[in-house]
Structure 1
């Protein structure tokens, strides 16, 4: 046997081992740098998120020193509020209907603007719930734009959006949009603010039909499906009444209209100067005329009710106010109930079937509670959505 002397195999093995050693050493040297890079990215992302949140909080809590608008009831009522020759006032409409506010936070301004700017959508057209406040909407958007220009407009492009629905998915809503369409890579920050309205129905009241004994009795009744559907319908009506109260109070200011029911309406000197000179006793209050015009718009144009008062009336009777208020509230409740039932009928059908097939009452209560939460959140979404985009 002949042995061949060849050292090349040892050399190759040593090269491979040396290569692995060098790779390991490189990893040890470079690892802190790689890890630091990921840390920097994470810190940068967290910092950007903090800045976005801080920007939103700063804008929403900042203060506007002055905000003024004039309601416009006169043109709606078809009357002309003019100054008499003896008047020393500059503008009749401003004297009677101007509203001035000071030291309001930005979020308060937005929330109030959303409430007063509600519209009802019908057949592709929008009708304002409160037509007197169209100038308020214009002035609100102008004030928002001026404020955003001062705070972020000098450094960034921006778009501001505010959206509110008193009932989720319903045809009554309010939107404020200021700024150009944002690019896809714009920084977006969202928040939710409360609005100055009160949902008068509690969740417990909505859940009241579904106590343990009622569920047990319904499931064991000859027609469990019908009984459970009736219980859900009762909860929907209760939930709708809470939302109806909010919308009715906005569209029909009951307390204010009730204050105009006297046979002799007190008119101060400023109001009188807008109608006639001091020697003319045959005046008619522009407040009454404007209120009558707005009431007729609400009951006829918005809700199609067969109720009307002429603008020649010298007062608004309390009986009429009560009747119109009750009719509008009933109409709102019915419309909202129909909307909630239509949007959740499939879910309710499925929940009823599951309740009927459940083996114990605790499972039935849990199933009912899940569906009732959906009903509650539809009737009471809880606030307005705010979106700020900058780029």
Structure 2
């Protein structure tokens, strides 16, 4: 039987024609559908950009808007059941007791004050406010923020606002605000930074003074043993200085010493038999003294307080209590900083000890002191607003 000639077998040509026709249909479909696909992506991009712009505007608007009404009850009054007489010394409790301005101009002011007043210490897994008025302030701050966001967003987006502050980085003492639901990973986020109303701040210059150029130059040509001891002692002094400064800041929040001292000079208290409650059974008529009793008991029995024994209130006792609280704070913070930084400090000391160039030693010193400073120089709070 003879073999068929190739020119007479047309099956391959038919399959090729079908394939070309199919590709032609795909090309036509692509031409028709592509504008729609591109438009959808453009719409998504435009929507995301619009959401970003709205989030940016919303956060800025929140921080700069005035708070119409903001009220909360000071905790000692709620606990003791005191009714404040008219024209009393504590008619403005926050202003008289803690020296804080209670007339908030903007939400930024209110959030900043809340960060300072509502510090919480984590003590073996149990959170404890270190300020007796903290809980009420936190609740009212969160409610005011939520009300503002709900009004401005009007149900168009879900939202979450978060702010966090740690006086010492990675230390179990912090303050936070969380308003709204937990945001998804693809939520649009916008952040801003505000300054906290702190009376004192750690000074970078004071930290460098403990390990200054004169000290480095004085021991640079000494033996390695001498340099090792000098550098270690200097860095230890730097940590002590950083701890002391931060302890004073925290104690200023925990213990209202200025307010207590002011009470002693009040004419209405001069007629009292003593400057303080002489016995627990003695009946107390002055609302101010009931609050003093509560604040002292609260402040001095927190994990950052002390437990002094006293029978009267005077400026010496106030100073003694204040100093004891500062000392305890300083010890706790110094221990934390040593645990965090000692390995790096040991490495820095070793490099400085073996360096033959004084400028290299100073650069190593600068980097290490800056790292210590960065642990305690947190006078700002970052606020993040997420919408989705």
TM-score range, shorter chain: 0.7 to 0.9
Kept in 1: contact 2:284–2:290 (CA 8 A): no
Alignment of 1:322 onto 2:319: yes
Alignment of 1:110 onto 2:111: yes
Alignment of 1:250 onto 2:253: yes
Equivalent of residue 382 in structure 1, options 379, 382, 387: 379
Partner of 1:351: 348
Structure 2 CA distance for partners of 1:162 and 1:263, relative to 1, 3 Å = closer
1:199-214 to structure 2, matched below 5 A, reads: 199-214=200-215
**1:70-104 CA-partner distances (Å, limit 9, x unpaired):** 1111455xx44258xxx8x8xx9x96748895562
d(CA) in 2 for partners of 1:327 and 1:121? Answer: 21
Alignment of 1:144 onto 2:145: yes
Structure 2 CA distance for partners of 1:82 and 1:109, relative to 1, 3 Å = closer
**1:126-171 CA-partner distances (Å, limit 9, x unpaired):** 1111123321111111111111111224321101111011111111
Structure 2 CA distance for partners of 1:235 and 1:107, relative to 1, 3 Å = same
Structure 2 CA distance for partners of 1:147 and 1:44, relative to 1, 3 Å = closer
3-state SS of the aligned residue for 1:121? strand
1:49 shift after superposition: 5.0
d(CA) in 2 for partners of 1:237 and 1:189? Answer: 37
d(CA) in 2 for partners of 1:111 and 1:186? Answer: 25
d(CA) in 2 for partners of 1:235 and 1:61? Answer: 38
d(CA) in 2 for partners of 1:75 and 1:67? Answer: 17
- Report the more deviating stretch, 301-310 or 243-252: 301-310
**1:29-79 CA-partner distances (Å, limit 9, x unpaired):** xxxx9xx99999999877765554333222211221121111111455xx4
1:191 shift after superposition: 1.9
Count of matched residue positions in the alignment of Structure 1 and Structure 2? 330
1:200 shift after superposition: 3.5
d(CA) in 1 for partners of 2:319 and 2:339? Answer: 30
Q: Scaled by the length of structure 1, what TM-score is found?
A: 0.75
Structure 2 CA distance for partners of 1:69 and 1:212, relative to 1, 3 Å = same
d(CA) in 2 for partners of 1:322 and 1:130? Answer: 19
Kept in 2: contact 1:73–1:291 (CA 8 A): no
Partner of 1:362: 359
1:179 shift after superposition: 0.5
Structure 2 CA distance for partners of 1:263 and 1:59, relative to 1, 3 Å = closer
1:56-95 to structure 2, matched below 5 A, reads: 56-74=59-77, 79-81=80-82
Structure 2 CA distance for partners of 1:139 and 1:52, relative to 1, 3 Å = closer
3-state SS of the aligned residue for 2:302? helix
Partner of 1:134: 135
d(CA) in 2 for partners of 1:179 and 1:149? Answer: 10
Structure 2 CA distance for partners of 1:82 and 1:58, relative to 1, 3 Å = closer
Kept in 1: contact 2:123–2:303 (CA 8 A): no
1:256 shift after superposition: 0.5
Structure 2 CA distance for partners of 1:209 and 1:95, relative to 1, 3 Å = closer
d(CA) in 2 for partners of 1:53 and 1:96? Answer: 36
**1:288-340 CA-partner distances (Å, limit 9, x unpaired):** 12112211222133346331457xx6xx3111111101111121122111211
- Report the more deviating stretch, 113-122 or 213-222: 213-222
CA RMSD across the alignment:
3.1
Kept in 2: contact 1:70–1:97 (CA 8 A): no
**1:189-235 CA-partner distances (Å, limit 9, x unpaired):** 12221111044432111111332231133344442222111111111
Kept in 2: contact 1:156–1:390 (CA 8 A): yes
Structure 2 CA distance for partners of 1:98 and 1:383, relative to 1, 3 Å = closer
Kept in 2: contact 1:72–1:132 (CA 8 A): yes
- Contiguous gaps of at least 5 residues in structure 1: 1-32, 268-281
Structure 2 CA distance for partners of 1:308 and 1:136, relative to 1, 3 Å = farther
